[in-house]
Structure 1
Amino acid sequence: MFRSPQSPQLSRRTVLRSSGAGFGYLALAGLLGQDALKSQASAAVEQPLLPKAPVLPTKAKRIIFIFMEGAMSQHDTFDYKPELIRSNGKSGPGGGTVTASKFRFKQYGETGTYFSELLPNIAKHADKMCWLRGLHTDTPAHPQAVVQLHTGSANAALTRPSMGSWLLYGLGTDNQDLPGYVTINPPPNFGGAVNYGSAFLPAHYQGTRITDQGYLPNLKAASAAKLQRKQLDLIQGMNRDFARQAGSPDPVDGIIASYELGFRMQDKVPELLDISKEPEHIRDAYGIKDGAAGSFARQCLMARRLSEAGVRFVEICQGGWDHHNNLHKGLLDRTASIDQPTAALLSDLEARGMLNDTLVLFGSEFGRLPTAQGQDGRDHNITGYSMFLAGAGVKKGFTYGATDELGIKAVDGRMHTNDLHATLLALMGLDHERLTYRYAGRDFRLTDVAGEVVKDIFA
């Protein structure tokens, strides 16, 4: 369970079994009185997503995760390695032929950070970025690695709560009329709903899936709100009667909360996701256009609108980075779709003062090798790759960690996926060792039994 002084708003079952949370159930009842304790438990059931105070000092209030599904090639985008150029055509340490990038690199900003010609707009934000250059993970298979990045566990068969669900569980959300966790165009294959599910956490902590067209499945128009309210009151009455019965399953509480949230969302969400209401100059800055070519731009603008409205965690996704072949042309296509919108999102957040309390994470499930695969491709690399952070709580224009001369292995400032999760939670004001939930006889957490917080990157 979540043993934290920040809030009593937990699930009904958790509140009633909190014998280890500093005070036992009877001691707490003695301090607060039986009526107060019942009121607490009732509030937890009725409003499980109320905002909770962080337990650690923090500036970050929300996260936008920009996920490049399929493993973006760092060697062709933002990891400049002079040795890669000097060793071009030679045999690599682990076999294969070392292959330099076909794209030109140059330095940007006062930090002199290298970017390739593929990312000229993102590169303009070089001095805002906090680079994690020594990342590594456990498995080179996409499904397992994507699931591990999102849930902390590479074993998709043993489903774990997603990163966004843990954040929602620990912090709640600021807008009770909106979901606290939204995923836009989530990966359809590599783990699917596992990547935004709540697993054994109560159901109200799972992510809400929408499309880049603003479509939210099963959300009806609010034209018949009075009739729907009557129908919902009847259903909720039966749900609550069932929930009060001995042995009723915990998910009933989540269903009750989700029905109420769905009713409120009918009025708020369609307008919020209608990006046509944005001024023309904003839409132009993001590069909004119709069809598939404008998908990522729409996601970025939606992410800003959702975050501004109080959503705690927003993930946006761009697939198609698995370049075992057709690397050159594929990178031209993929980077053209993300460069302008990502840069516009960072600029927009900064202009609105939101970058002061919003943490942006950009990256893939792993990286790619410096050696060639076939005529025009690169294979997976789990031993050394990069991501960047920007915004609340992290140092600007800072680099933590490094890979070797060819960019194969992390050799300095090594960060496992568990360390990344521990650090992200700390940046949001949560202690990863205390953010736990008891299930199947043991306390689970996002970082399992590992994870070190990398405080060197904290502003």
Structure 2
Amino acid sequence: MTPVEQYLQHLTRRHFFAQGAMGLGTAALASMGMAPTAQAKSSVGIPSVPHFAPKAKRAIYLFMAGAPSPPDLFDYKPKMVDKLKVDLRGEKYEDGSPVLRTRVTTMTSGQSAFPIAPTRYKFAQHGKSGAWVSELLPYTAKMVDDISIIRSMWTEAINHDPAITYINTGNQLPGYPSLGAWLSYGLGSENADLPSFVVMTPSWTGRQEAQALYNRLWGTGFLPSKHQGVALRSAGDPVLFLSNPPGVDASDRRRVLDSIAAFNQDHYEQYADPETSARIAQYEMAYRMQTSVPELTDISDEPDHVLDMYGPDVQKPGTFAASCLLARRMVERGVRFTQIFHRGWDQHFNIPVDLPNQCRDVDQPSWALVQDLKNRGLLDDTLVIWGGEFGRTIYCQGALTDKTYGRDHHPGCFTVWMAGGGVKGGVVHGTTDDYGCNIVDASGAPTDKFEDGAVHIRDLNATILHQLGIDHEKLSIKFRGLDQRLTGVEEARVVTPVLG
């Protein structure tokens, strides 16, 4: 018997039951004239999802990788000017409890002093809400009545890799599905010619020694691989291998795919391996993307007034501005979830140089994206999220000088804003102490309780899912004997004060 014949006759107990179940399902579908095609599977999620009427059909996540500095952008602390010479290491509240209640990283734990570093930037109140916004974000300041600002986010992770993995996948350890993968798995795709989850990693002008981004941030973990994020490139083909090789035309490509699909379908019918089904779907998606992606990324049909709104970088491929425009074009074409990772926010030593550059990259395009969606009637059912993985300290890392200062990581409190998709505009949620070190309750006492306004990253993810019609406790998959979900097994609550 040849090796091929041995392989074809190989049938384990697990394969027997899987094939038997698949055979019954296939027969049932065939009796209704509904053969289980790859295209049908690519456009449908779980039948029970959404669990209730969604406020948003799709979402765009503007992720500021590296942690934007709240004391310099959104969390105004004017009293710190008077405490310029205070050493935070020994500072205590009136009840004697220490101000620094969170862990300190090894980058500053050995410092001889923790000198207060007041922001060098002017703040002003804007909009009907009177939200305080730094002069570094003039465009964001113009739209505070369109957004909800959450100043009381917190997390347990104190270093970048576990923190960014945590907020994107619900776990500090690798191997878990990303937020976008969960949305694709639960809701499916609105457009069979484009992926349900797209990722962009544009250039940046701040600190160039940026933290690495790993594809697990948009990976599927233990979910089927067809739900992973498809990364768009800024140069060459937007997606690798999108173009046919020299000498191969569309008809040749079609014949090759048909032959591969026939082999894969035969394997699938024998072994019911879900990854085989995913491969068939991905081959077909790649073929359709040869037409859909070039049309998506060609912005020559955009009017000048729209391009001007996004700023001078919008026509430079690979910039944050260009990515924001593409995100709006994806919304129009039914892409379920778009995530833009903007690096360079890890500013430990030179905030006066690096932070203004970062803000110039993202401020106008972020504003333009919200306004563009609003002008087109798309903001009501599109959720936009802006933020990073944790905050930064009010004390200085290293030497505090007249010319420069830097800030270490700080998980105790940070800022995120949201817009559209049922989010209430003109809201500022949560309060931090005068030092910007801890979330406080109405009495001014440090707290991490949700009832006092504290928002854990689990709560943020539960809220994102909720706006898309998903109960975070019901979206799960069995893995390693557990019902796994994005928000884990600990309590997570929807942040209703920021919702309309």
Fold shared by both chains (TM-score > 0.5): yes
Q: How does 1:48-447 map to 2 (within 5 A)?
A: 48-51=41-44, 54-92=50-88, 93=91, 94=100, 96-156=114-174, 159-185=175-201, 190=212, 192-213=214-235, 215-221=238-244, 224-246=249-271, 249-289=273-313, 295-374=319-398, 375=400, 376-411=405-440, 412-447=452-487
What is the CA–CA distance in structure 2 between the aligned matches of 1:331 and 1:41, rounded to whole Å? Answer: 55
**Structure 1 counterpart of 2:81, which letter?**
I
Which amino acid letter does the alignment assign opposite residue 83 of structure 2?
Answer: S
Residues 1:452 and 2:469 are matched in the alignment: no
Closer/same/farther in 2, CA of residues 224 and 39 from structure 1, 3 Å limit: farther
In the TM superposition, residue 88 of structure 1 has moved relative to its aligned partner by 2.5
Counterpart residue identity of residue 444, structure 1: Q
- Code of the aligned partner of 1:424: I
Greater shift, 360-369 or 274-283, is seen at 274-283
Structure 2 residue aligned with 1:5: none
DSSP 3-state at the match of 2:319: helix
Residues 308 and 292 from structure 1, CA distance in 2 versus in 1: closer, same or farther, beyond 3 angstroms?
closer
What is the TM-score when the length of structure 1 is the normalising length? 0.88
2:389 partner letter: E
| Post-superposition CA distance 1:134-155 (Å, at most 9, x none) | 1111111101111111101001
Q: Aligned pair in 2 of structure 1 residues 240, 177: CA closer, same or farther (>3 Å)? A: same
Asked if residue 43 in structure 1 is aligned to residue 36 in structure 2, the reply is yes
Contact 1:144 1:190 in 2 (8 A): no
What letter is aligned with 2:217?
N
**Residues 271 and 341 of structure 1: is their aligned pair in 2 closer, same or farther, counting only changes over 3 Å?**
same
Q: Which amino acid aligns with 1:458?
A: L
For 1:5-44, list aligned pairs within 5 A: 35-36=28-29, 42-43=35-36
Task: Specify whether residues 418 and 232 from structure 1 end up closer, same or farther in structure 2 by C-alpha distance, changes over 3 A only.
Answer: same
Equivalent-residue separation in structure 1 for 2:212 and 2:165 (angstroms): 7
Give the C-alpha shift of residue 58 in structure 1: 2.1
Secondary structure, in 3 states, of the residue corresponding to 1:276?
coil
Alpha-carbon distance in 2 for matches of 1:429, 1:160: 22
- Counterpart residue identity of residue 296, structure 1: F
Rounded Cα–Cα distance in structure 2 between residues aligned with 1:228 and 1:234: 10
Q: Write the distance in 2 (CA, Å) between the matches of 1:452 and 1:44.
A: 38
Contact 2:234 2:317 in 1 (8 A): no
Q: Could you say what the CA RMSD is over the residues aligned between the two structures, in angstroms?
A: 2.6
Q: Which runs of 5+ in 2 are unaligned?
A: 1-13, 92-99, 101-112, 204-209, 441-451
For residues 30-78 of structure 1, what are the alpha-carbon distances to aligned partners after superposition, in whole Å with 9 as ceiling and x for unaligned? xx99624886995375522324552123221111000111111011111
Shift of 1:176: 0.7
Q: Distance in 2 between matches of 1:398 and 1:303?
A: 25
Displacement of 1:335: 0.7
Is contact 2:129-2:144 (8 Å) kept? yes
Offset at 1:399? 2.1
Which has the larger displacement, 163-172 or 89-98?
89-98
Q: Cα distance, 1:292 vs. partner?
A: 7.3
Relative to structure 1, the CA distance from residue 37 to residue 54 in structure 2 (aligned partners, 3 Å threshold; closer, same or farther) is farther
Partners of 1:51 and 1:399 in 2: CA distance: 37
> What SS does the corresponding residue of 2:152 show, helix, strand or coil?
strand
Q: Which structure has the greater CA radius of gyration?
A: 2
CA 1:120–1:290 in structure 2 vs 1: closer, same or farther (change >3 Å)? closer
| 1:412-439 CA distance string (max 9 Å, x none) | 3111111111111111100111101112
CA deviations 1:121-173 (Å, max 9, x no partner) are 111001111122211111111011111111010012xx000000001111111
| Aligned mates of 2:458, 2:255 — CA distance in 1 | 47
Q: Which moved more, 1:364-373 or 1:272-281?
A: 272-281
1:243 maps to amino acid: Y
Moved more, 48-57 or 294-303: 48-57
Measured after TM superposition, the shift of residue 297 of structure 1 is 0.8
Uncovered stretches (5+) of structure 1, i.e. residues with no partner: 1-12, 18-24
Separation in 1, partners of 2:31, 2:253: 30
For residues 485 and 30 of structure 2, the distance between their equivalents in structure 1, rounded to whole angstroms, comes to 26
